[in-house]
Amino acid sequence: MADPRVLRAMSTPLLGQFDPEFTEIMNEVMDLSRFAFQTRNSRAFPVPGTGRAGLEAALTSLVEPGDRVVVAECGRFGLLLIEIAERCGAEVTAVRGEWGRLIDPAAIEAALKGGTTKLVAVVHGETSTGILQPLADIARLAHDHGALLVADCVVTLGGCEVAVDRWAVDVATAGTQKCLSCPSGLAPVTYNAQAEAAIRGRRTKVRSNYLDLGQLADYWSPARFNHHTAPTAMVYGLREALRAVQEEGLEARFARHRLHGDALRAGLDALGVALFGKEPREHRLPFLTPVVVPDGVDELRVRRRLVEDFGVEIGAAFGPLQGKIWRIGTMGYSAQRQFVLVCLAALEHALRGEGHRTSAGAGVDAALAHYASAGPANPDVRDNLGAPGIGRV
């Protein structure tokens, strides 16, 4: 769900992309992006397009034909990294893991020993399986072998820690529509001096003009290189979304996502719905919960009933997991008590309609018990009617 204050910001009258007031807004977006990514990189700006545009911009701008790229794959979006790298002309070495498990850093190290590598690409939060991949050890291994680390943080930015500088991530890309609670349409990216040197030092032109990070960086610099026409309303929305992150504070925001994700999981357990995956809690996304479809339950019919009867949408699965698991998100503005409770009540009703036995109200009761055990502090999001305006009115 988009934060209402973000939607209000996006309805503000438009400014020209070279209007001095809009330039100031761009500067604020860059500063707020550094805050969210926990970085001091000079390059931190949004790529125009969805989260995938950020991924393609990073790989297209770094990879030249024949470069060796190591990709960690343990889910649908690791497969996407492989495809994008191959389209860039890379010689891809895939380090594959079981879907629902972490990639072993030792396997990545073994792949790095197989030849000179330009970069390692990894998904920080694999939304197809709910896995949260630690990045610091992989960054160290990449750097030990002279490679850069590119991290897909599309789902994690704004929902859990993305410590770009502390973990020594060279390039991080994100999206607006997940934990930032802004409509899809921009892809925040940040990259360090080592990555910039690789981009500026290419032997060949970047194959995409639109996704050329070098040109995009010049657009988001004092030079104001006329590369494209900014999606002005989206920039307004991103600024407001990032302001909300800053106002809430990173630790409080991360705690809120953990609280509501844990409450959801307590309720699902009470409904007899098992979590998918074998990793411990610290290696699972706190705000995306994959669950196994119970035996004898028509997973599509349940999802349709949730949408039609309750207006609640939960995610289907990809590839080998299709039809076997659901993915339930509690991201950004959606990470609130009332949404968790409605989801559990709706799911209980739908499951009972499939013949799945549950105690009446068990899911909601378990979630409420979790909230009670967490103490009086319940950091819900509230619609901020006093949010700052944007641009000339």
Domains in the chain, please, with CATH? 4-248 (3.40.640.10), 250-373 (3.90.1150.10)
Geometric angle at alpha carbon 133, from 312 and 178, rounded to 5°: 30
Given this model, what pLDDT does residue 278 score? 87
Contact 148, 177 (CB under 8 A): no
Most distant CA pair in the chain, distance: 65
**Tokens 């960690």 sit at which residue?**
72
Contact 257, 286 (CB under 8 A): yes
- Beta partners for residue 132, in sequence order: 125
Residue 376, pLDDT above cutoff 80: no
What average pLDDT does this structure show over 10-35?
96
What average pLDDT does this structure show over 21-33?
97
How do residues 79-135 score in pLDDT, each as one tens digit? 999 999 999 999 999 999 999 999 999 999 999 999 999 999 999 999 999 999 999
CA 115 to chain centre: 31
How do residues 74-88 score in pLDDT, each as one tens digit? 999 999 999 999 999
User: Considering the entire predicted model, what is its pTM?
Assistant: 0.94
Percent of the chain with pLDDT over 90: 93
How do residues 161-181 score in pLDDT, each as one tens digit? 999 999 999 999 999 999 999
Closest CA to 36 of 221, 162, 183, 198: 162
Count Cβ atoms below 10 Å from residue 279 Cβ, excluding itself. 16
Task: Give the number of residues written for the chain.
Answer: 393
In the chain, the amino acid numbered 129 is T
What average pLDDT does this structure show over 169-196?
98
Cα separation values, 212 from 47, 53, 90, 231, Å? 10, 11, 17, 17
What average pLDDT does this structure show over 38-61?
98
Contact 10, 236 (CB under 8 A): yes
How do residues 210-244 score in pLDDT, each as one tens digit? 999 999 999 999 999 999 999 999 999 999 999 99
pLDDT band at residue 380 using 50, 70 and 90 as cut-offs: low
pLDDT band at residue 393 using 50, 70 and 90 as cut-offs: very low
What average pLDDT does this structure show over 344-348?
98
* Mean pLDDT, the chain, whole residue set: 94
Closest CA to 152 of 131, 121, 182, 178: 121
Given this model, what pLDDT does residue 361 score? 94
Given this model, what pLDDT does residue 97 score? 96
What average pLDDT does this structure show over 51-64?
98
Cα Rg for the chain, rounded, in angstroms? 21
**45: Cβ contacts below 8 Å, ≥ 6 apart:** 26, 29, 30, 33, 188, 189, 190, 216, 217, 220
DSSP 145: T
What average pLDDT does this structure show over 318-347?
97
DSSP structure string for 73-115: ESSHHHHHHHHHHHHTT-EEEEEE--TTSPPPHHHHHHHHTTS
Residue 30, pLDDT above cutoff 80: yes
d(CA 357, CA 367) in angstroms, rounded, equals 18
Structure tokens at 278: 């074998």
Structure tokens at 378: 């319940």
Read off φ and ψ for residue 288, nearest 5 degrees.
-140, 120
Given this model, what pLDDT does residue 199 score? 97
Percent of the chain with pLDDT over 70: 95
Count Cβ atoms below 10 Å from residue 281 Cβ, excluding itself. 12
3 state SS for the chain: CCCHHHHHHHCCCCCCCCCHHHHHHHHHHHHHHHHHHCCCCCEEEEEECCHHHHHHHHHHHHCCCCCEEEEEECCHHHHHHHHHHHHCCCEEEEEECCCCCCCCHHHHHHHHCCCCCCEEEEECEECCCCEECCCHHHHHHHHHCCCEEEEECCCCCCCCCCCHHHHCCCEEECCCCCCCCCCCCEEEEEECHHHHHHHHCCCCCCCCCCCCHHHHHHHCCCCCCCCCCCCHHHHHHHHHHHHHHHHHCHHHHHHHHHHHHHHHHHHHHHCCCCECCCCCHHHECCCEEEEECCCCCCHHHHHHHHHHHHCCCCECCCHHHCCCEEEEECCHHHCCHHHHHHHHHHHHHHHHHCCCCCCCCHHHHHHHHHHHHCCCCCCCCCCCCCCCCCCCC
